[in-house]
């Protein structure tokens, strides 16, 4: 493992290299420019020459050795909801990547940013098991959009942007591994994105690592969600504050709450043998007359067998400062992580498309069934086929009592529980099978389906990705993958799999609908219409298909065709929603009389259908305005319709504004 430190580039970027080598370090991290300025200067030609000369002198000239890491500016927030601020951040990050390319630096560490909306609720605050909430997901999508723009503007760059995990203070993103993985999955060019794991941040966020068991459990989660090979930088920092504190305060190695097992375990990961491990600990002062970077590096190299130094009063206080509630929370997460590991169940949700690194400590190879076990497996499958689900479950459990490492038996349990609609138990069984045999398609696909029903969509997508690595041409896996992405409103990501499903089964109406929805979400309504119309030819039209078709016509401003689709919808499903859509379509083509009649049909079916009351109000208001605002009855009727709508749904600022604007 290559151990280095963050060193100052004051006086020229080459100085950071010289400092690191003088201290006996194997690599270095630096700021390539002033990290507190919005418009930092680029290094001069002389500074570049000095830089490359220093690299050559110390034998670090090959950029693929990853001896040098850049850390971007702290000012960058690519997830900001403020467009002007995000543009400034994109420009600043672009200048950072340009410097990295200029200096031959292949690794640039970057914090994911903050969404700057409402903070998580108290019950959500330390929930590492949750999917991103609405605000976090929006922030991740802004981050992805910013990264996509940078990749488009800087084609061919070889530098990896390494997204770093955070403690999760305030509204910062990336405090659990699924958010980092989701960002990488959603970018158009994921091969330009990697990860940086900060040990202090992980522990402060709530990942316990102070025992060998908990440290290995957390490492297992990192591999499961991110993949060891995608982690290209490690920040080795102890945490001044306890697990789950969400406070980003670095301590010297063995002087904080991370525990010796944290650092001992990460040094044993074979995939990280040549990964730069960067110390970001304090540089001030000496320990027994020695430089702190040298001391911390020795502690890492010795496997953290050294005794911790005498802690400051502040450090001692932080390490023991547990209220009853915080101690309970930390204990809960530690137990939960270990329990999930013991049960071979992955519950931290994320997306990742590539095959995980398989090591002896993380994955085990499959166990082949014996002759007797094969007979029982066959019996269990026959019982499933005949609908004897309870008997089948007993048969598979009988096998597992003797051989709990048989993947096919766990798959059988998963199938039975799915047929019994117990999706939680089904997911657990499929997860066990996938853990024992990561190449088992039925295990990966079954787990994905169970997670999809449980609405754990990001982990579901990851399972489907693994299934597709095994069988890339499986129709159901491609179809379900597309559906899962659509459930996340990620039309662009869904298109790839929806198109593949259509290619595999061109006569599938369901696949055509999925592709249509993907096109529609991606702003391609004409392509969506073509797929919906083909689906209508291949299958009996459903209300949802007609609604989708109607909405796509509306996006393309093909309002007359929208009317025809709405008429079919009303005929097939004479509900309030259908009549409301018909009223809207008639209004768009200027047939206000039929529009008003359709909206009134909707409220006759459901007097509480507030969108239709708005439709009535708009038609009456339009008639009043066209008539020169002379008919007081029309004015009063429009006001009454809007008031009926607000009575059902008071949170309609546009309606309230309309009433005020026209003095209704």
| Separation between Cα atoms, residue 396 and residue 374, nearest integer Å | 11
Residue ranges and CATH numbers for the domains of the chain are 2-342 (3.20.20.150), 371-534 (1.25.40.10)
Q: Please report, to the nearest 10 degrees, the dihedral formed by the alpha carbons of residues 292, 297, 303, 309 taken in order.
A: 0
Q: How many CB atoms lie within 10 A of CB 310?
A: 9
What pairs with residue 277 in β-bridges? Answer: 3, 234
Residues involved in catalysis: 36, 71, 74, 111, 164, 198, 201, 235, 248, 250, 280
Collect all residues with Cβ–Cβ distance below 8 Å to 355 and sequence separation of at least 6.
227, 438, 466, 469
Is the pTM value of this prediction over 0.75?
no
Partners of 198 in beta bridges:
235
pLDDT tens digits for range 88-120: 999 999 999 999 999 999 999 999 999 998 776
3-state secondary structure of 321: coil
Provide the pLDDT for residue 289. Answer: 82
The more confidently predicted of residues 389 and 289 is 389
Looking at residue 160, its pLDDT comes to 97
Q: Which structure tokens are listed for 85? A: 């601020």
| Model confidence band, residue 126 (pLDDT cutoffs 50, 70, 90) | low
Average pLDDT over residues 274-298: 91
Q: What does the pLDDT look like over 647-657, one tens digit per residue?
A: 999 888 888 88
Distance between CA atoms of 190 and 552, rounded to whole angstroms? 30
The listed range with the strongest mean pLDDT (68-72, 297-301, 520-524) is: 68-72
Q: Which pLDDT band, with edges at 50, 70 and 90, does 284 fall under?
A: confident
Give the residue among 246, 158, 237, 143 at the shortest CA–CA distance from 197.
237
């Amino acid at each position: 493992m290559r151990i280095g430190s963050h060193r100052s580039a004051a006086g020229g970027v080459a100085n950071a290299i010289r400092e690191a080598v003088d201290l006996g370090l194997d690599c270095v991290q630096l700021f390539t420019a002033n990290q507190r300025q919005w418009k930092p200067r680029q290094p001069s030609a002389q500074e570049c020459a000095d830089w490359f000369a220093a690299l050559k002198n110390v034998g670090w000239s090959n950029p693929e050795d990853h001896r040098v890491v850049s850390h971007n500016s702290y000012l960058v927030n690519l997830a900001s909801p403020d467009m002007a601020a995000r543009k400034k951040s994109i420009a600043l990050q672009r200048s950072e990547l340009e410097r990295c390319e200029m200096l031959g630096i292949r690794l640039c560490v970057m914090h994911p940013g903050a969404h700057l909306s409402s903070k998580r609720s108290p019950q959500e605050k330390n929930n590492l098991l949750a999917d991103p909430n609405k605000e976090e997901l929006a922030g991740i999508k802004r981050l992805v959009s910013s990264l996509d723009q940078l990749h488009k503007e800087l084609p061919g760059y070889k530098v990896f942007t390494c997204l770093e995990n955070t403690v999760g203070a305030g509204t910062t993103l990336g405090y659990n591994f699924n958010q980092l993985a989701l960002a990488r999955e959603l970018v158009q060019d994921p091969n330009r994105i990697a990860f940086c794991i900060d040990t202090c941040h992980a522990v402060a966020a709530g990942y316990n690592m102070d025992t060998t068991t908990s440290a290995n459990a957390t490492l297992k989660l990192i591999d499961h969600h991110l993949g060891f090979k995608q982690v290209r930088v490690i920040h080795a920092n102890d945490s001044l504050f306890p697990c789950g504190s969400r406070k980003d305060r670095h301590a010297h190695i063995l002087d904080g709450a991370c525990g010796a097992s944290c650092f001992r375990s990460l040094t044993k990961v074979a995939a990280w043998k040549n990964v730069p491990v960067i110390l970001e600990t304090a540089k001030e002062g000496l320990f027994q007359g020695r430089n702190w970077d040298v001391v911390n590096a020795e502690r890492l190299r010795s496997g953290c067998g050294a005794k911790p130094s005498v802690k400051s009063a502040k450090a001692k206080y932080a390490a023991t400062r547990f209220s009853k509630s915080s101690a309970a929370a930390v204990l809960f997460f530690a137990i939960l992580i270990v329990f999930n590991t013991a049960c071979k169940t992955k519950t931290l949700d994320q997306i990742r498309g590539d095959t995980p690194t398989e090591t002896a400590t993380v994955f085990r190879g499959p166990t082949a069934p014996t002759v007797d076990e094969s007979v029982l497996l066959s019996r269990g499958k026959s019982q499933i086929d005949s609908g004897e689900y309870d008997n089948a479950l007993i048969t598979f459990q009988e096998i597992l009592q003797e051989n709990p490492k048989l993947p096919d038996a766990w798959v059988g349990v998963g199938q039975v529980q799915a047929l019994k609609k117990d999706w939680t138990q089904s997911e657990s069984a499929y997860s066990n099978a996938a853990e024992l045999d990561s190449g088992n398609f039925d295990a990966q696909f079954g787990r994905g389906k169970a997670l999809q029903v449980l609405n754990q969509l990001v982990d579901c997508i990851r399972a489907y990705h693994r299934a597709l690595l095994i069988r890339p041409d499986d129709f159901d896996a491609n179809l379900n993958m597309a559906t899962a992405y659509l459930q996340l409103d990620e039309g662009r990501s869904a298109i790839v799999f929806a198109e593949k499903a259509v290619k595999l089964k061109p006569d599938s109406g369901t696949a055509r609908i999925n592709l249509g929805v993907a096109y529609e979400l991606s702003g391609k309504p004409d392509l969506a219409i073509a797929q919906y119309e083909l689906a209508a030819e291949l299958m009996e039209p459903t209300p949802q298909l007609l609604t989708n078709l109607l909405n796509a016509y509306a996006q393309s401003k093909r309002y007359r065709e929208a009317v025809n689709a709405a008429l079919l919808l009303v005929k097939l499903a004479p509900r309030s929603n259908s009549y409301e859509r018909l009223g809207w379509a008639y209004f768009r083509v200027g047939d206000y009389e039929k529009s008003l009649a359709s909206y009134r049909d909707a409220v006759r079916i459901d007097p509480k259908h507030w969108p239709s009351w708005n439709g009535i109000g708009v038609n009456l208001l339009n008639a009043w305005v066209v008539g020169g605002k002379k008919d007081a009855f029309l004015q009063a009727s429009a006001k009454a319709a809007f008031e009926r709508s607000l009575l059902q749904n008071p949170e309609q600022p546009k309606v309230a504004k309309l009433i005020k604007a026209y003095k209704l």
